[in-house]
Amino acid sequence: MSTHAQSQSIASLSASVTSLRSSLTLLDSSISILDAGIADFPRLKKVLSSTRHFELTPSSSLTSAQQSLASELEPAIETLLKRSEMYVAKMERRQLALVARSELLEGRLEGGEGGGLRKKRSLERLVKTGGKGDEKVLRLKMLRGKKERLGYAVERLTLQSQQRQRQLRMSVAATPAD
């Protein structure tokens, strides 16, 4: 081989080496650009990942959840309703008892006012008759007091009887027919 051929082959190899070096430089530059570009990938992955804020569920699972909730709450609601109905009935009975007591006391007040003057006059007549009037007056006072107490007792028992009849009617009306 001649030197000329050798120099041509060396020149061509030298051009290949230069081209290879420029390719390596370009490749290094590309790698550094890619490194800079993908350095932010973990953050991008987190940002771009889909976070479900509202989850869609099928209507069948909603229906089953509603039925489950209803079956759990129904006994508690029924218990609370029964308690409230019993409390309302108790308050109605108490109201009726207070009304009856008020009527009884009102009757006692009215009875005490009207009979007072009549009793006073009859006592004055007995005192004027003389002699054994003191004993008769005391006995008359005792008998009138007893009569008044018995009248109050009869009136109270009558009102209690009426109240119990009302309660009995209410309890019979409140019992469900089977």
Domain parsing of the chain, residue ranges: 1-40, 91-178
What is the pLDDT at residue 53? 66
What is the pLDDT at residue 116? 52
What is the pLDDT at residue 110? 75
Q: Tokens 């009138």 label which residue? A: 144
Q: Compute the distance between CA of residue 119 and CA of residue 37 in angstroms, rounded to an integer.
A: 119
Q: Compute the distance between CA of residue 120 and CA of residue 141 in angstroms, rounded to an integer.
A: 10
What is the pLDDT at residue 177? 55
Per-residue tens of pLDDT for the chain, all 178 residues: 578 888 888 888 898 999 999 999 999 999 999 888 888 888 878 877 766 666 778 889 999 999 999 999 999 999 999 999 999 988 988 888 888 788 777 777 776 555 555 555 665 665 565 556 678 778 888 888 888 888 888 888 888 888 888 888 877 877 765 4
Rounded to 5°, the CA angle 96-101-102 comes to 95
What is the pLDDT at residue 135? 81
State phi, psi for 54 to the nearest 5 degrees. -120, 120
